[in-house]
Structure 1
Amino acid sequence: MKMNNVTKQIFLLAWPAILEMMMHTLVWTADTAMVGRLTPAAITGVNLGANIMFAVGHIFGALGIGATAMVARYIGAKEKEKAEFIGAQALSIGMVMSVVLGILGILFAKPIITSIVDDPEVIVLGTDYLRIVMGGLIFYIPLVIGNAILRGAGNTVIPLISAILANTFNIIGDYGLIFGRLGLPELGVRGAAIATGSAQALGAIVTLYYVIRGTAGIQVKIKDLIKWDFKTIRNVVGLSTPAGLEMLMNEGSRLLSSFWIAQLGTVAFAGHSLAIAAESISFMPGYGIAIAATTLVGQNLGDNNVVDADESAKKSVLYASILMGLVGVAFFLIPYPIMRLFSTDHETVALAAVCLRVGALEQIPIAIAIVVSGALKGAGDTKGPFKIALITNLTVRLPLIYFIVFVWRLHIGYVWAATALQFMVEALLMVVRYKKGQWKSTEIQWEQ
């Protein structure tokens, strides 16, 4: 890859990934916006259930991060058969984990929700929602890993197609099942959960069809799925474990923060949840470009091209910062009109608008943090981002939010200010880690 083609390569990989991430985010935002027409209790129940399900999915779906790094490295080294075998082993273990976690989630949904809130209405609605979407988790983790395999091979288009089909289905299902339209029964929160779980199943079917068929640049063979090679699994899991721990730290911190924020009251938590739903859309350019950085860094290092790997990472950071910075300007200038799109409850919208305006300050730091993290992971350095997540969550985010909620008893906007500070520190530490340059010599070994 020539230096003057680095920008082209970034956006060829990034634009489908950006659109894909946006479509996946609509699973949550569509649920939130439509349920937002019901009650604050419904908003709280849906967001608690969604937070838990996606947290579990992201933590265990982190197996895909190791798969992306290894597949990209061997694709870059022109060793496609090794890349395909590694992908098959990652997908196989992911399928087993998803079934176990889905069953556990269905069985323990009520105790989980009850341990978080004591509002009887929220408990009923949250339990119903969580039970159904945890069934969808059985498909969600294989979907995440399948998409990761495709991205490692340089294909970000098929994950986009999968997301478009699944989330179009989800939005239509939300509209029909929440409000009783299109000849469907009116199920409220339960309808939102059914639509979301069904969409995840559809997305997994589409992605795995292309992965197994082999028309998307890489093929996972059935025989490699059903015959485990424990050395390969150990290598994939070993590389993915720090990424999984990073997800555990981030998602665990986010969940614990949500539980604490819930103590501020149903309306405060609903406003916070709506602002999160709106802000999550802004992350999509950053995540999409981070995916491009992961793939390009991994493939270039596999081809022993450190110069292009470095250039890909730096330009990815620049482009993500510009795009997310522009979104941040909109959040700061017009937060109330944006939040009106998500709910008709005036008190909830007013609180959410304050949160979103504060959230404008963290857009560029988030862009830097997630893209540099993606570049490091593409190089096989999954330990660095985990250590940084550990530091920022335990020394910045959690202590500050605890004091804001339980000691100082401040407005929900201060919680968002604490989160903004966390991302600023995280961005700085990621850049320091990258500039040390150890990622350039990170080796990824595969034994069979």
Structure 2
Amino acid sequence: MKEKMWMVLRLSVPAILAEISSIVMQYIDAGMVGSLGADASASIGLVASTTWLINGIGMAVAAGFAVQVAQFVGARQPRQARDTMRQAMGICALIALGLSGTAVSLSGALPRWLGGSETVCVMASQYFLVYACSLFFVLNRQMASHMLQCTGDMKTPSALNMLLCVLDVVFNTFFIFGCGLGVLGAALGTAASEVVIAGMMVGKMCFGSPILTIREEGSWRWQKQTMRTAFAIGALIAIEHSVVNVAQIVIVGIVAPLGTVAVAANSLAVTAESLCYMPGYGIGSAATTLVGQSVGAKDWGAVRAFADMATLLGVGIMSVTALGMYMLAPFLFETMTNDLQVRALGVQVLRIEAFAEPFFAASIVIAGALRGAKDTLMPSLYNLASMWGVRIVLSIVLAPVYGLPGVWFAMAFELGVRGCLFVYRLRSRKWLKIPETGAERSVFV
């Protein structure tokens, strides 16, 4: 048991550090843009949910192949792992080009559809256009990062993702202040850092990974079974991400009529909250790798143990970070904006959300563990039902009466419901479809 917990920690820590460094750099990034005024912060916040939607599709494509790589590694079939990675590269490139073209065509109209003011819409369109042009590099970085993680190499993607954040700040400083480009400079800085790190990440995958290297024998030919499995996993995740992120865009539409201060506070509060939940995503990535490799090795006891331990670790860490987020909320907003109204409103909503973070942790980590076992249908249904049936409905009801705090109360309540659903799924063991035995009981029981 101790050995398994050590393995969870060993794979989780690099991913957690990468996620935390990413958020620290986002704070600095937000502070740079926030110094330009509430309109600048609101312009990025207005299109943020759409960028999450597109990134989610890219992550779903990567996950469809990466889970197979993890299981091939666990089954000690490196040739099949290499073949799967090569097929993923081709599919990822095609989807990235398609998404980029679509996003470019929507960059002018999207901010207006989301209800932004004229000033905000101009800056938001510029930001989204640059983001759209960088999508090929964004999606390839995501794909290579997932592939390396699923071979058990958490350190390289974590280190490169941390470097991505550092470069983002360096390039942003140059473009925003050195060149005086404002919000456009923030987009250019982020895009430049993505180009650099995508090249390094793909290079490591293709030439530096002992398992995935293209120097070893392998095939670039697309195989029906691999594509079918990738589609079965990735399509559900993509649909889930898409519908959930459409819901988040709807939330932005609900917040937008509340005014520029509310939009800016909402955007910055989302950035601030990520300091709390990003460790959960790091542990979730480790859970996907460990569960996937254990499934490939047909070690069902290890599958259960890793899923349970990762969940307990995630809930524990995010409970601590939630307490820190509640206490440090005023300081966090002081670092991101000079607008006193935005600060006051942001602190209020962030403290509402702190109470839901342990439940959010459960949903994030369990989803990662279930993904490693190719169980994606029920998690997707849980996310869709809770987002649309709880968060959207409550936000529509509460926003006109309580403003932005009402929207964030709806979010906190929905995360509580979602967390309970995922814990139920984990305890049911239906995701494994194997008999329960007394020697392999869950630590939750």
**What TM-score results when the alignment is normalised by the length of structure 2?**
0.93
Q: Which residue is equivalent to 1:275?
A: 269
The verdict on how the C-alpha distance between 1:253 and 1:224 changes in structure 2, with shifts beyond 3 A counting, is: farther
Asked whether the 8 Å contact 1:150–1:217 carries over to 2, the reply is no
Counterpart code for 2:118: P
Is the CA contact (8 Å cut-off) linking 1:155 and 1:217 kept in structure 2? Answer: no
Give the whole-Å Cα distance in 2 for the aligned partners of 1:353 and 1:439: 39
8 Å CA contact 2:92, 2:140 repeated in 1: yes
Could you tell me which runs of 5 or more consecutive residues in structure 1 were left unpaired when the two chains were aligned. Answer: 443-448
> Are 1:409 and 2:401 an aligned pair?
yes
1:111-152 Cα shifts (integer Å, max 9, x gaps): 111111241100110001000011111111111111111111
Equivalent residues of 1:173, 1:195 under 8 A apart: yes
d(CA) in 2 for partners of 1:47, 1:399:
22
Aligned pair count? Answer: 434
Quick one: which amino acid aligns to residue 318 of structure 2?
M
1:170 pairs, out of 168, 171, 179, with 168
* 2:164–2:193 CA contact under 8 A, matched in 1: yes
Q: CA deviation at 1:105?
A: 1.3
**Aligned pair in 2 of structure 1 residues 6, 256: CA closer, same or farther (>3 Å)?**
same
235-244 or 270-279: bigger deviation:
235-244
Q: How does 1:145-156 map to 2 (within 5 A)?
A: 145-156=143-154
Matches within 5 A, 1:114-133: 114-133=112-131
* Seq. identity, %: 26
Structure 1's 30 and 209: CA in aligned 2 closer, same or farther, altered over 3 A?
same
Q: Work out the CA distance in 2 between the residues paired with 1:273 and 1:225.
A: 45
1:430 is aligned to 2:428: no
2:77, 2:49 → 1: CA distance? 39
Structure 2 CA distance for partners of 1:56 and 1:26, relative to 1, 3 Å: farther
The alpha carbon displacement at 1:431 in A equals: 1.2
Q: 1:345 maps to what in 2?
A: 339
- After TM superposition, the structure 1 stretch with the greater mean CA deviation from structure 2, 27-36 or 215-224, is 215-224
Please list, as runs of the form range in 1=range in 2, the aligned pairs for 1:119-268 lying within 5 A after superposition.
Answer: 119-180=117-178, 185-215=179-209, 217-220=211-214, 227-268=221-262
TM-score, scaled relative to structure 1: 0.93
Q: Cα distance 1:215–1:60, how it changes in 2: closer, same or farther (>3 A)?
A: closer
1:286 aligned partner, one-letter code:
G
Aligned to 2:379: 385
2:53 is the alignment partner of 1:61 = no
Aligned partner of 2:403: which letter? H
Shift of residue 89 of structure 1?
Answer: 1.2
Contact preservation (8 Å) 1:86, 1:236:
no
| The one of 352, 355, 358 aligned to 1:358 | 352
What secondary structure sits across from 1:344 in the alignment?
coil
> What is the aligned partner in structure 2 of residue 445 from structure 1?
none
**How far has the Cα of 1:176 moved from its partner?**
1.9
Distance 1:216 1:51, change over 3 A: farther
What's the counterpart of residue 80 of structure 1? 78
| 1:261 Cα deviation after fit | 0.7
CA distance in 1, matches of 2:33, 2:294: 45
Aligned residue in 1 for 2:282? 288
Counterpart selection for 1:374 from 368, 392, 399:
368
Runs of 5+ in structure 2 lacking a partner? 435-445
Q: Which residue of 1 aligns with 2:18?
A: 20
Q: 2:83, 2:220 within 8 Å by CA — same for their partners in 1?
A: no
Task: Encode CA deviations 1:285-337: one digit per residue, 9 max, x unaligned.
Answer: 11111111111111111111111111111111111111111111122233212
**What code does the residue aligned with 1:401 have?**
S
Q: Is the 8 A contact 1:294 1:374 kept in 2?
A: yes
1:5 matched residue in structure 2 = 3
Q: Is the 8 A contact 1:150 1:216 kept in 2?
A: no
Counterpart residue type for residue 401 of structure 2: R
Q: Quote the offset at 1:62 in angstroms.
A: 0.8
Contact 2:307–2:366 (Cα < 8 Å) also in 1: yes
1:194-248 CA distances to partner (integer Å, 9 max, x unpaired)? 0011111112111100111043543257996854334422221222111111211
- Do the aligned partners of residues 169 and 73 (structure 1) sit closer, same or farther apart at CA in structure 2, a change above 3 Å counting? same
Distance in 2 (alpha carbons) for counterparts of 1:203 and 1:258: 30
CA apart distance, 1:97: 0.8
Q: Residues of 2 paired with 1:222 and 1:137: CA distance?
A: 29
Q: Which amino acid aligns with 2:131?
A: V
Q: Does 1:71 align with 2:79?
A: no
> In structure 1, the residue corresponding to 2:298 is in which secondary structure?
coil
Please state whether the residue corresponding to 2:134 is helix, strand or coil: helix
Q: Distance in 2 between matches of 1:254 and 1:13?
A: 31
1:7 partner amino acid: M
Give the 4+ runs in structure 1 shifted more than 4 A.
Answer: 220-226
**SS of residue paired to 1:62:** helix
| SS class of match (2:109) | helix
- 2:329 alignment partner, one of 328, 335, 338: 335
TM-aligned CA distance change 1:344 to 1:222, over 3 Å: farther
For 1:95, give the aligned amino acid.
Answer: A
* Worse-matched range after superposition: 203-212 or 328-337: 328-337
C-alpha separation between the residues in 2 aligned to 1:353 and 1:423? 19
Partners of 1:294 and 1:375 within 8 A in 2? yes
State the one-letter code of the partner of 1:362. Answer: A
One-letter amino acid of the counterpart of residue 243, structure 1: I
Instruction: Using the TM superposition, give the Cα deviation of residue 61 of structure 1 relative to its aligned residue in structure 2, in angstroms.
Output: 2.2
8 A contact 1:32–1:46 mirrored in 2: no
Return closer, same or farther for 1:221/1:255 CA change in 2, 3 Å cut-off. farther
Higher mean C-alpha displacement, 200-209 vs 334-343 = 334-343
- Which residue is equivalent to 1:446? none
